[in-house]
Amino acid sequence: MANLEDVKNVQPLADFDWDEFENGGKVETSKEDQEKAYDETLKKIQEHQVVEGTVISVDKKEVVVNIGYKSDGIIPAAEFRYNPDLKPGDKVEVYVESQEDKKGQLILSHRKARLQKSWEKINEALENDEVIQGFIKSRTKGGMIVDVFGIEAFLPGSQIDVHPIRDYDVFVGKTMEFKVVKINQEFRNVVVSHKALIEAELEAQRKEIISHLEKGQILEGTVKNITSYGVFVDLGGVDGLVHITDLSWGRVSDPHEVVELDQKIKVVILDFDEEKKRIALGMKQLTPHPWDSLDPNLKVGDHVHGKVVVMADYGAFVEIQPGVEGLIHVSEMSWSQHLRSANEFLKVGDEVEAVILSLDRDERKMSLGLKQLKEDPWKTIEVKYPVGSKHVAKVRNFTNFGIFVELEEGVDGLIHISDLSWTKKIKHPSEFTKVGADIDVVVLEIDKENRRLSLGHKQLEENPWDKYESIYTPGSVHEGTITESMDKGAVITLDEGGEGFATPKHLVKQDGTQAQLGEHLPFVVIEFVKDTRRIILSHSRTFEDVKDDYKPRHEHKAHKNDTPKIENVQAGTSLGDLDVLAKLKADMEKNNK
């Protein structure tokens, strides 16, 4: 069906016989001429182009559109859902998908026509920097979806406004003005911005405001954003930053403790950079420095109360009033001289009492002490730990030469390895005790100036060598067990106490074999030295003739006038009571008679 305008454009055939037609005669024209005349009445259309058509009819399922072609196109009514007032006679744009399908039907699309036209409009808007309108359809990750000319565009959250947006949902369903800022032609992605529309105006305002700024100027602003490092304040078109350290004279761990969003606050301009458009603001500078209001009568030695606000390995910072802090160094936390971390004594939030050790009002520095709350234990060390007094100490650590122990906090002492046992030869203190164990000690010496105590453990018992001197006389025989064997000889633990030593040649048994570790055998004492706690033994002397083949280390070569020796022992000694010498003496007296 052709419309009226198309009928008006019909042109008569050039060789048509009108006289014959008017006289009622039959006019002969070929079919080809008739088709040619009909085709010339139709528009020339091409596939994949957008043309204008006229709505012929509208129902719930289809819309029939005439584009001046030999057949009308049928378009699903759903493509016109956005226009419920569509009626016959309305002009609409359609996209020619195909001049005819298998059934010879013209295939049109109104939706594709709109999209193609919309894409052209969007590209023109980007090229000409035009302002366009769009409808915000919904939220999406990172921003909003905006309908622009029927195309879905992306509006990033950062491009909605110059101020950070906290509630995106309030924008859904609104029609706003935008600028096209980016187009991806390949994927047909569009990015729009509302912020770009107002930035130009704000830039002019910003320049005007900055041109009138001065350091020290006090302004009122609105808190627009709070971060971990500070607060951004809107000064009426230009933003400034109050760094976290400039919020309060006291320590602030979180800016939310001081301000809240949208709060009106007064700030002072500390610095600004016109080129970088950075403005540094301060809040604490509007109030006097707390050190200026510190009690003028406060002095060294006074006691103060405060709260631990910062901890470090080397000490704790204590706030005694907002903005006034003192440092308690770890060395001032205990009289103990052991190096420890401050975290072992205090933690953030602790309420403490401390003594002022130093106070510098000009430098605004203060050092405090905890241990000064207690009396220095070394002040009266001679009273509590006099020489000869006995105590229980805690083993703290070892060295090759002894054991460091702690009698109480701040009072340490050293037990030399030689003062651990009268009888045992200890190579390392770990053989005797362990770290953390209790050990009985006696005070041997006090070095008050260097804060040192010399302690002993073996002195708690009587020196067994006083008793051994009368038991292990040279020539006497005693039972013992070989408890340690080495190349130079063996250590023998004697049944009556103490240890002796025998060289390999004195460990030969009567059958010619060598005495072994663990054997229990009789031994003859061939040397006893109390000062060096040395007992030299021999097993072989118990069964062989006594020969003068061993001389004690302290003896010199015998002279002619030396006292006669009996079995390598000077006559007239206590050995006269020994059975061997008694029998020898009796035989000599008998021979003399």
pLDDT for 149: 84
Of 441 and 15, more confident: 441
- What mean pLDDT do residues 11-16 have? 56
What percentage of residues in the chain have a pLDDT greater than 70? 83
pTM above 0.85, yes or no: no
pLDDT digits (tens, 9 = 90+) for 117-165: 888 888 998 898 888 889 999 999 889 999 888 888 999 988 888 777 7
pLDDT for 545: 59
pLDDT digits (tens, 9 = 90+) for 160-179: 887 777 788 889 999 999 99
The single-letter code of the amino acid at 407 is L
At the topology level of CATH, where does 4-113 sit? OB fold (Dihydrolipoamide Acetyltransferase, E2P) (2.40.50)
Quickly state the pLDDT bin for 478 (edges 50, 70, 90).
very high
pLDDT(239) > 90: no
Quickly state the pLDDT bin for 557 (edges 50, 70, 90).
very low
Quickly state the pLDDT bin for 264 (edges 50, 70, 90).
very high
pLDDT(105) > 60: yes
For 464-587, CATH gives: 2.40.50.140
φ/ψ of 24, rounded to 5, equals: 85, 10
Quickly state the pLDDT bin for 587 (edges 50, 70, 90).
low
- Local structure of residue 106 (DSSP, 8 states): B
pLDDT for 507: 92
Of 99 and 404, more confident: 404
CATH 2.40.50.140-classified regions of the chain: 4-113, 129-198, 213-286, 290-372, 377-460, 464-587
pLDDT for 16: 56
pLDDT digits (tens, 9 = 90+) for 493-502: 998 888 899 9
In CATH, which superfamily holds the domain spanning 290-372? Nucleic acid-binding proteins (2.40.50.140)
pLDDT(197) > 60: yes
pLDDT(571) > 70: no
pLDDT(548) > 50: no
Task: Encode 533-571 in three state secondary structure.
Answer: CEEEEECHHHCCCCCCCCCCCCCCCCCCCCCCEECCEEC
**Could you confirm whether domain 377-460 is CATH 2.40.50.140?**
yes
Angle at 227 between CA 224 and CA 233, to 5 degrees: 30
- Candidates 463, 455, 462, 461; CA nearest to 391 is 455
pLDDT digits (tens, 9 = 90+) for 353-407: 999 999 998 888 999 998 888 888 888 888 888 888 889 989 988 888 899 988 8
Name the average pLDDT for the chain.
81
pLDDT for 590: 54
pLDDT(553) > 70: no
CB 110 within 8 A of CB 126: no
- Distance between CA atoms of 416 and 404, rounded to whole angstroms? 9
Quickly state the pLDDT bin for 339 (edges 50, 70, 90).
low
pLDDT for 547: 47
CB 320 within 8 A of CB 356: no
What percentage of residues in the chain have a pLDDT greater than 90? 26
pLDDT for 29: 54
pLDDT for 476: 92
pLDDT for 549: 45
Q: Which stretches does DSSP call E strand in 71-142?
A: 73-76, 91-98, 107-109, 131-140
Q: Which stretches does DSSP call E strand in 390-437?
A: 390-399, 402-408, 411-416
Quickly state the pLDDT bin for 577 (edges 50, 70, 90).
very low
pLDDT for 68: 85
At the topology level of CATH, where does 129-198 sit? OB fold (Dihydrolipoamide Acetyltransferase, E2P) (2.40.50)
CB 280 within 8 A of CB 243: yes
- What mean pLDDT do residues 331-336 have? 83
Q: Hey, which residues does 459 pair with through a beta bridge? A: none
pLDDT(48) > 60: yes
Quickly state the pLDDT bin for 20 (edges 50, 70, 90).
low
Architecture of the domain spanning 213-286: Beta Barrel (2.40)
**What's the half-sphere exposure (Cβ side, CA atoms, 13 Å) at 22?**
4
* Residue 51, burial from CB neighbour count under 10 angstroms (0-12, 13-18, 19+): middle
pLDDT(448) > 50: yes
CB 171 within 8 A of CB 159: no
Which residues, at least 6 apart from 48, have a Cβ–Cβ distance to it below 8 Å? 95, 96, 97
pLDDT(3) > 70: no
pLDDT(31) > 80: no
Asked which of 31-40, 109-118, 268-277, 460-469 is least confident by mean pLDDT, the reply is 31-40
pLDDT digits (tens, 9 = 90+) for 278-313: 889 999 888 888 888 888 888 998 999 999 988 888
CB 367 within 8 A of CB 316: no
pLDDT(459) > 50: yes
Of 473 and 165, more confident: 473
- Distance between CA atoms of 464 and 460, rounded to whole angstroms? 12
pLDDT for 32: 62
CB 345 within 8 A of CB 318: no
